[in-house]
């Protein structure tokens, strides 16, 4: 499925998909809402996750905390349906546009539900940009460990 990286011209100007995975075998992915362009989440894919995403039209990621391939929405039911996959100029980052009701394991539509004020010198208090959760994460993920690590 993926072509071996042979030349800069091939990578930057060619039609071959030749992704560059980092030393851990990962490539970063930004996922956005295909309807409005809002960023939903940032994650990572390994070769298998990218391959499965392309083949199925549904998002798969590599969970760095759990060390497993993760089918986004399998547990919650909020599957991310792929509308478009793009790769950057040197093929070391992926951007995927998806259709989904929710992406955040906390319950919000986007994982980027808070804003950080700028030009502040004292203790920063973030501002919630999404006021309501899409689902109750405690009910949906009952019994599962939280992927957020302290």
Would residue 144 count as lying in a domain? no
Per-residue pLDDT of the chain (150 residues; tens, 9 = 90+): 899 999 999 999 999 999 999 999 999 999 999 999 999 999 999 999 999 999 999 999 999 988 999 999 999 999 999 999 999 999 999 999 999 999 999 999 999 999 999 988 889 999 999 999 999 999 999 988 888 888
**Whole domain around residue 63: which residue ranges?**
8-103
Count of domains forming the chain: 1
- Is 119 part of a structural domain of the chain? no
Residue indicated by tokens 């990578």: 11
Whether 111 is covered by a domain: the verdict is: no
Is the pTM higher than 0.85? The answer reads yes
CA 14 to CA 103: how far, in whole Å?
32
- Judge whether 3 lies within some domain: no
What's the CATH number where 85 sits? 3.10.20.810
* In a domain? residue 43: yes
């Amino acid at each position: 499925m993926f072509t071996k990286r042979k030349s800069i011209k091939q990578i930057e100007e060619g039609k071959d998909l030749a992704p560059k995975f980092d030393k851990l075998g990962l490539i970063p992915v930004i996922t956005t809402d295909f309807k409005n362009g809002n960023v939903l989440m940032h994650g990572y894919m390994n070769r298998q996750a990218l391959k499965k995403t392309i083949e199925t039209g549904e998002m798969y990621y590599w969970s760095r905390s759990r060390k497993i391939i993760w089918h986004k929405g399998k547990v919650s039911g909020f599957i991310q349906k792929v509308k478009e996959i793009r790769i950057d100029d040197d093929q070391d980052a992926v951007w995927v546009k998806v259709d989904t009701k929710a992406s955040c394991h906390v319950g919000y539509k986007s994982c980027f539900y808070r804003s950080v004020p700028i030009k502040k010198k004292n203790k920063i208090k973030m501002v919630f940009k999404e006021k309501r959760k899409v689902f109750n994460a405690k009910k949906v993920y009952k019994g599962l460990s939280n992927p957020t690590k302290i």
